[in-house]
A and B are shown apart, each in its own frame.
Chain A
């Protein structure tokens, strides 16, 4: 296992320049974006002198290089500045909203992987059958459906028409807000508080948003899993395993799926950005108080520091997920460790 440890350490070290590049891109992009943050913040009709004074205050008149170093130094201290609109630290605003988004994304991802991989593997095993065609059709159709439309349909179907699932928010009115003060991850908080009524309420609120997110992305994984499984099922070692009398089901769902999982994993790492984008749309549809909502809200308010903070956090999430994916990759595939 010495090889694995060495691989993990190298991979973590490689993440540092990657994060550095991501942060630099965020810095550059936000500064070449059209629109002057200060004048828009002051309402657009403020006199020149007031604008100048505010710019001076915010340090925007310093040389760009100094601003850049200052920006990096701030991030190193885990400080993302202060909102331009509210008297509020950006870090605080984000910490309040981040758990909601992570919770939604995690559940969405679980649903996506579960549906996508199982359906894809099943379709590959039964290739060219009616079931296979049906699943492939599903994969294409579901991918083409816009997130908000699917969300709306699910809200109408399960929330309004059947009236069995809540269509907005993270909790119902009868749940005490104080339960959620520990981590902000409501599922975790309710379990820690042993409040199972609240846990049920939280889970039931997660159903529609996470299914919306999960279903939309499952299409990609259906197609990806199917394609990879077809390749793997043709491989010599699969025939060889069959020649040793190992049961077909075991070969498909244990052997072949593990082999097909490697490219799926890579895809997962690449799709995380898409998942985040999907989460933003889902949050809007379901009034989910997460990062997506925060982002949209602050775009309207032109709250540049908060926007910058949100984007940085998204970038860090993408970097972290790709790190985790690579580590899992090395655990699954012994060849990567060398």
Chain B
């Protein structure tokens, strides 16, 4: 399998008046062609920041301060404005959490499609672009007449489908989905995940699925990355992460989700609170909350240990 995206030692900082938020710190991550990679972690651990960095969409004062992001071998971090713009929406698509606010309320759906298509394919005329949008809607199970509607005339689930249609209209090979179902209700969410699964095959997509809902990733992801405090705690095949999580944080995360079985011994809640990213704890960022903390954890960052495709940053696996 070919590697489509290779993130190496990426750091993203937000300089603010009380210091610098190290939202992403020394992250390494590889996405293989055609896989769905789930990216999970608590709120504020840097998932969105990582996702936004890939398209260089960080809002000020956010800045990539180190590392590289190789997309098909080309470093996105060092691209000029023109090069990065030609990737956005065209080769790499991104969809967001809230479909209600992600579509411009003042433009009809067809206008938003046509604008996107013509931005990247100057050779086309409006009619051809419109026809393409019609085909896309059919493919998404939406009646093409709805192209002439405004976003406020559609339901949340439908708007999220439109968002993904806008994302895929130019046949990108990488999709970054930042909590795409968080604002949808359970039934619509399940439908949307099914759709995503279909589209993934149809378009031969590689997906980075950001979420804090482990159920979502269980359904779709081939591999899972667990982030904690701006760093990567663990990466592994989905079954391995669910069956035998290695990192104490992942273990805590899994035992904190309720399951349907009534004989579940007890629901764990993780003690402590997420780390302060302005003054992160020295050594392992997780050590103040970890129940296995050793001396070395307090002052030295853990190295990466690899075991058959499973990768973990924790001194327990030295």
A interface, CB within 8 angstroms of B: 234-237, 239-247, 255, 258-259, 332-335, 338
Q: A246-B116, A247-B119 are in contact. Are A240 and B102 (CB under 8 A)?
A: yes
A244 lies within 8 A of B116 (CB): yes
CB-based contact A246/B119 at 8 Å: yes
Q: Contacts A236-B96, A239-B57, A240-B96 hold; do A259 and B89 have CB atoms under 8 A apart?
A: no
- 24 residue pairs of the A-B complex, CB under 8 angstroms, read A235-B101, A236-B98, A237-B104, A239-B59, A239-B96, A240-B102, A240-B103, A240-B163, A242-B88, A244-B88, A244-B119, A244-B166, A245-B85, A245-B87, A245-B88, A245-B119, A245-B120, A246-B115, A246-B119, A247-B119, A259-B106, A333-B106, A334-B108, A335-B150
Report the bound CA distance from A310 to B55 in whole Å. Answer: 60
B residues contacting A by CB (< 8 A) are 55, 57, 59, 85-90, 93-96, 98, 101-108, 115-116, 119-120, 150, 152, 163, 166-167
User: CA A257 – CA B116 in complex, angstroms?
Assistant: 18
A236 contacts B101, C-beta separation under 8 Å: yes
Least distance between A55 CB and chain B CB atoms (Å): 58
Q: Which residues of B contact A241 (CB under 8 A)?
A: 104
- Min Cβ gap B108→A in Å is 8
Q: How far is the CB of A197 from chain B (nearest CB, A)?
A: 44
For the complex formed, measure the closest distance between the CB of A97 and the CB atoms of chain B, giving whole angstroms.
Answer: 40
Question: Chain B residues with Cβ under 8 A from A332's Cβ?
Answer: 106
A190 and B150 alpha carbons, distance in the complex (Å)? 44
Decide if the interface of chain A is mainly helix, strand, loop or mixed: helix
Q: List B contacts of A239 (CB < 8 A).
A: 57, 59, 96
Interface of B: prevailing SS: mixed
Residue B55 contacts which of A243, A247, A335, A338 (CB distance < 8 angstroms)?
A243
- Residue among B94, B102, B120 with the highest chain A CB neighbour number at 10 A: B102
B104 with A245: CB separation less than 8 A: no
Name the distance in Å between A237's Cβ and chain B's nearest Cβ. Answer: 4
CB-based contact A334/B152 at 8 Å: yes
Which listed residue (B87, B96, B106) contacts A258, Cβ 8 A?
Answer: B106
Across the interface, B101 reaches (CB within 8 A) one of A237, A244, A246, namely A237
Bound Cα distance from A333 to B152, whole angstroms? 11
CA of A244 to CA of B94, assembled, Å: 8
Q: In the complex, what's the smallest C-beta–C-beta distance from B74 to chain A, in angstroms? A: 16
Task: Give the distance in Å from the alpha carbon of A6 to the alpha carbon of B59 in the complex.
Answer: 42
Nearest CB in chain B to that of A234: its residue: B59
Which residues of A are found within 8 Å of B102, using beta-carbon distances?
A: 236-237, 240
Question: Contacts A239-B59, A247-B85 given; 20 further ones with Cβ under 8 A?
Answer: A239-B57, A240-B96, A240-B166, A242-B88, A243-B57, A243-B88, A243-B96, A244-B88, A244-B89, A244-B119, A244-B167, A245-B88, A245-B116, A245-B119, A245-B120, A258-B106, A332-B106, A334-B105, A334-B106, A334-B108
Compute how far the CA of A311 lies from the CA of B119 in the bound complex, rounded to whole angstroms.
53
Which residues of the partner chain B approach A236 to less than 8 Å between Cβ atoms?
96, 98, 101-102
Residues of chain B within 8 A (CB-CB) of A240 are 94-96, 102-103, 163, 166
* Interchain nearest-CB distance for A260 vs B (Å): 10
Q: Which residues of A contact B103 (CB under 8 A)?
A: 237, 240
Q: Please give me the 6 A-B residue pairs with the lowest Cβ-Cβ distance, nearest first.
A: A244-B89, A245-B88, A245-B89, A236-B101, A334-B150, A243-B94
Which B residues are CB-close (under 8 A) to A242?
57, 88
CA distance in complex: A331, B57 (Å): 32
Q: Residues of A contacting B87 with CB < 8 Å?
A: 245
Which of A245, A247, A335, A338 touches B105 (beta carbons < 8 Å)? Answer: A335
Nearest B residue to A239, CB-CB: B57
A157 to B107, alpha carbons, bound, how many Å? 46
Q: Which residues of B contact A259 (CB under 8 A)?
A: 104-106
**Given the complex, which residues of B lie within 8 Å of A333, measured CB to CB?**
105-106
Q: Which residues of A contact B116 (CB under 8 A)?
A: 244-246
Closest to B113 in A: A244
A246–B119 alpha-carbon span in the complex (Å): 6
A335 to B93, CA, bound (A): 28
Would B152 and A335 count as touching, CB distance under 8 A?
yes
Within 8 Å CB of A334, what residues of B?
A: 105-106, 108, 150, 152
A258 and B90 CA atoms in complex are apart in Å by 25
Q: Give the residue name and chain of the A residue nearest to B163 (CB).
A: A240
Residues of A within 8 A of B120 (CB): 245
